[in-house]
Amino acid sequence: MTWYLLLLTVILFSCTFAVKLPALYSREKKRAIIQCEDLKNEMDNIGVYPLAAVCMLLIPVSIFYFSQDILLSSYLFFLAIVSYTDLSARWIPDSEIYFLVALSVYSLKDKDTVSQLLSAAFFILPALILHLYGYLVKKEIWIASGDFYVIPTIGIMVLPEYAATLMLVALVICIAVTRWIPKIPFVTVLFFVFSGYQVLILSGAL
C-alpha cells in the first residue's frame, strides 16, 4: 500500500511539475532579464574599508593561535574574504565559494558525517523558511541566492545542537540592524556569529 501511495505521489508531482514548468521558467527568465538590466545600470560603487578588512582577516589568525587547527583557520580565512567582498561590493566570488565547499566537505573526514549533515540542515532551515516566506508571501527576495551556497558550509562546521540557534541569532541581528543599514550583507553577519561561536567553543563556554 505504501509503495502505491509513493508511486501515486511521484506521478502527481511529475505531472504537476511538467505543467507548471513553463510558467516557472518564464517567471525566472523575466526576473533574470530584470536583474541584468539592473546590473547594467548599476554604478560601480564598491566600498573600501581597510580597518574592517584587517579586523576580519585577523580573526582566523587569532583562532589558529589558540586552536592550532589549520583546517578551521583556513576555512575562516576564506569566509572572511567572502564576508568582506559581500560587505564592500555585495558580491560573493565563485572561486571563494568553491574553497569553502571543499574545506567544509574535507572537514567531514574527522567527524560523524551524518551528524554534520544534519547540522547543516538545522543551520539552513530557519533561513530557508524566512526566504520562502518573503518570496511566496511578500514577493521579495530577503536572502540572496548566493548566500545559500555559503550557508551549508558554515552549518557543516558547527555542532548540531547549536546550528539552528546560531542561524536564529544571525537572523535577529540582521533584522535589528536593517533599521539603520538597509540591505545588510547577511554573509558578513554570519561570519561574525560563526567566529563568536568558535571563540566560545575554544574558551570552554560552550
The pLDDT, as a whole number, for residue 40 is 64
What is the distance between the alpha carbons of residues 126 and 132, in angstroms, rounded to a whole number?
Answer: 10
Weakest-pLDDT range from 102-106, 129-133, 170-174? 129-133
Query: pLDDT tens, 145-169?
Result: 788 899 999 999 999 999 999 999 9
Query: Considering the entire predicted model, what is its pTM?
Result: 0.77
Query: Residue 138 — pLDDT band, cuts 50, 70, 90?
Result: confident
Burial class from Cβ neighbours inside 10 Å (0-12, 13-18, 19+) for residue 104 reads buried
Query: pLDDT tens, 34-89?
Result: 766 666 665 666 777 888 888 888 898 889 889 999 999 999 989 999 998 888 87
Mean pLDDT of the chain: 84
Query: Residue 103 — pLDDT band, cuts 50, 70, 90?
Result: very high
The pLDDT, as a whole number, for residue 151 is 94
pLDDT at 100 over 70: yes
Residues in the chain, overall count:
206
What is the distance between the alpha carbons of residues 157 and 100, in angstroms, rounded to a whole number?
Answer: 10
Sign of the four-CA dihedral 190, 191, 195, 196: negative
The C-alpha cell that represents 196 in the structure block: 563568536
